[in-house]
Structure formats: structure tokens, C-alpha cells
Amino acid sequence: MADIPVFFLHGLAYASLLFLVSSGLTLVFGLMNVLNFAHAALYMLGAYFSFSIFKITGHFWLSLLLCPLILFIIGALVEKFLLRRVHRHGHLHELLLTFGLAYIITELIKFFWGNYPLSIQLEGFLTESVTFFSINYPVYRLFIIACALVVGLLMYLVIYKTRAGIIVRAAVNDSQMVDALGINVQLVFMCVFAVGAALSGFAGVIAGPLLTTYPGMASDILIDAFVVIVIGGFGSLGGAMLSSIIIGELQSFGVLLFPSLALVLVYLLMAIVLIVKPSGLFGEEQ
């Protein structure tokens, strides 16, 4: 069992990707109370944009910079022209809208990029491996882990330590009051949704070289991200991080130890959490 550290790192890399996806989902849910079913579709859109930018310019870093920006704009437009309109019809309609949006984005991707897998061949030091403690490990996976740590830290700092974070949290609690204090609440919500979309785009770019880019990648990660949120607790950033690691490691070691059961293990864990603590590990009681 000399491979255990390697499998642990594999699990951690996947956990990092999961965290990048579910953190945006948690952000939007925690702050806007909107469960965005289109989140994974936006992530897939990020991956496809990244593929095209990489193909045209040949710079991975450029796509890492541009895709979140593009997704930010898309997210802002979606919030302004679609989500805001159905907000008054209530929760159900918001869910239905994002669900329909996910469906349309998937179909558009099939239309423009084709219904087959694409892969990105990176160049430079990201493709190499490093050796430490007698383990040879690809740099790219370590890079993913680093990205997740940075994003998690940044999100924590922005939400809890800055003025912008205070405004957003206040707007969630009492949007009318915040509005009366002279802050454009609509703009705040638009920004939150756009940041969530940008995060998903970022995750998509990161996922491109690790997994293949194909039209089913959204639904694959969406379910895992949902399980992360259920286990971690709704709207909790720390919970999302911890349960990402749990799910990542469970999948990684599950494949190693019980290959035929690996898929079911995650759901089993979810069912146990639902029975024992329905609100999730870090969730507040409803």
C-alpha cells in the first residue's frame, strides 16, 4: 500500500475541484437564497470557453484570466434579465428558471462545440511532475489544490472581513433596510450572482485539463456538488470545504478499496447524514 499518499493527493485534487464548484453554489445560495441549478452548466461553459481560448491563443493563463470575466458578465446578464423577473413569482420559479437555463446551455454547447469529448493539452511546467517524500506527483493537481485554498481564503476574507462582505450579508438579512441606507441592493445581488458564475467559470477552466471537456461534465459534477452541500450544510463555506474533502477522499479510496461500490458510497454517506443530522454537518437547523 505504498500508493496511499498518492491516492490521498488524488482525492484532495478532486476535492479541490469540488470545492471550487460548490463554493460558488454555496455563495449564491447562502447570500441570495437561490439554488442555482445552472451553476454546473456555467462551469461547463467555462471549460468550453477555455478550450476555445486555449486553441486560438495557446495560452492557458489567458483563459484562466478571461473565462471568469466572461462568466461574470454572463452571470450578471442572467441575474438582471432573467432571475430578477421571476423573483416575485417565488422560489419555485427561480429553481425552474435555473433548471431550464442549464438545459439550454447544455444544448447550446452541443450545438456550437459538438456532442463529443474535447481535451486540452497543456504545455510548460504544469505538465511536469515533482518528487517530494519519494512521491512523484503531477504539478497540475497540486496547482488545483493551491487554487482551491486561495479561493477559499479569499472568499472567507471578502465575506467576513471587508465592507463589501458586510453589505452583502446585511442585504440578505434585511434588504429593505439596506436599500433605505442608500445602497443599491439590486446591484449587490447582481454582483453576488455574477461572482458565483465567475467562480464556476474558474472551476471550469481548472477542470478542463484534469477531466475531459464533454457535454455530460455538468451533470456529473452537479450531483457531487449537491452532495457536498447536503453533507456540509446549506450556505456554509467551511462545511463545503470539509465535505468536499470527505467526498473527494471517499471517491478516491472507494475506487481503490471497493471498486464496484465506489459510486454508491457517496450516496450512502449522504443518506446517513440526512438521517442523523438533516441540516448537514455545519448547517443551521431549519
Partner 1 sequence: MIQRNPINLCLSAVFLCLFAVVIPLWFGPYQVTLVTEIIIFALYAVSYNLLLGHAGLLSFGHAMFFGTGAYTTAIALKHIGGLPIYGAILLSVIATTIIGLVIGGLLLRHKGSYFALLTLAFNALFYAIASKWYSITGGDDGLSISRPDLNLVFTTLNMSDITTFYFFTLICVGSVILFCWYFTHTAMGETVLLLRENEERMKFIGYNTNITRLILFTFTGALAGFAGSFYALFFEFASVSVISIDMTTTVLLMTFIGGSGAFGGPILGAIIFIYLQDFLSDITDRWPLIMGLIFILMVLYVPKGTSGIISMLKKRLFEGKQKHGQIDTGEQQI
- Residues of this chain that bind partner 1 (CB under 8 A): 29, 33-35, 37, 82, 85-86, 89, 91-93, 95-97, 99-101, 103-104, 107-108, 110-111, 219, 222-223, 226-227, 229-230, 234, 260, 263-264, 267, 270-271, 274-275, 278, 286
Residue 145, number of CB atoms within 10 A of its CB: 17
* Separation CA 64–CA 232 (nearest Å): 28
Q: How far apart are CA 265 and CA 268, in angstroms?
A: 5
Nearer to partner 1, 99 or 140 (CB): 99
CB of 154 to partner 1, least distance (A): 26
For the packed helices 39-57 and 185-210, what is the interaxial angle rounded to 10 degrees?
A: 60
Q: How far apart are alpha carbons 69 and 198 in whole angstroms?
A: 6
Output 112 or 133, the one with its CB closest to partner 1: 112
Is-contact 53 63, C-beta < 8 A?
yes
Q: Which residues pair with 267 in a beta bridge?
A: none
Which of 97, 118, 151 shows the shortest CA–CA distance to 159? 151
CB of 210 to partner 1, least distance (A): 21
Residue 11 CB, shortest distance to partner 1, in Å, is 19
- Minimal distance in Å, beta carbon 8 to partner 1? 24
Which residue lies nearer to partner 1 by CB, 42 or 101?
101
- CB closer to partner 1, 164 vs 272: 272
| Nearest distance, CB of residue 239 and partner 1, angstroms | 14
Structural contact between residues 80 and 190, judged by C-beta atoms closer than 8 angstroms: yes
Which residue's CB is nearer to partner 1, number 86 or number 135? 86
Question: Nearest approach, Cβ of 111 to partner 1 (angstroms)?
Answer: 6
- 19 is written with which cell numbers? 470545492
Using CB atoms within 10 Å of the CB of residue 138, give its burial: 0 to 12 exposed, 13 to 18 middle, 19+ buried. Answer: middle
- Are 64 and 205 contacting, i.e. CB atoms less than 8 angstroms apart? yes
Q: CA-to-CA distance for 75 and 77, rounded, in angstroms?
A: 5
Nearer to partner 1, 188 or 266 (CB): 266
| Residue 187: CB minimum distance to partner 1, A | 22
Q: CB nearer to partner 1: give 147 or 228.
A: 228
Residue 203 Cβ, how far from partner 1 at the closest point, in Å? 18
Cβ partners under 8 Å of residue 252, min gap 6 = 7, 8, 10, 11, 14
Distance separating alpha carbons of residues 43 and 201, to the nearest angstrom: 5
**Beta-strand pair 135-138/129-132:** antiparallel
Smaller CB distance to partner 1: residue 61 or 103?
A: 103
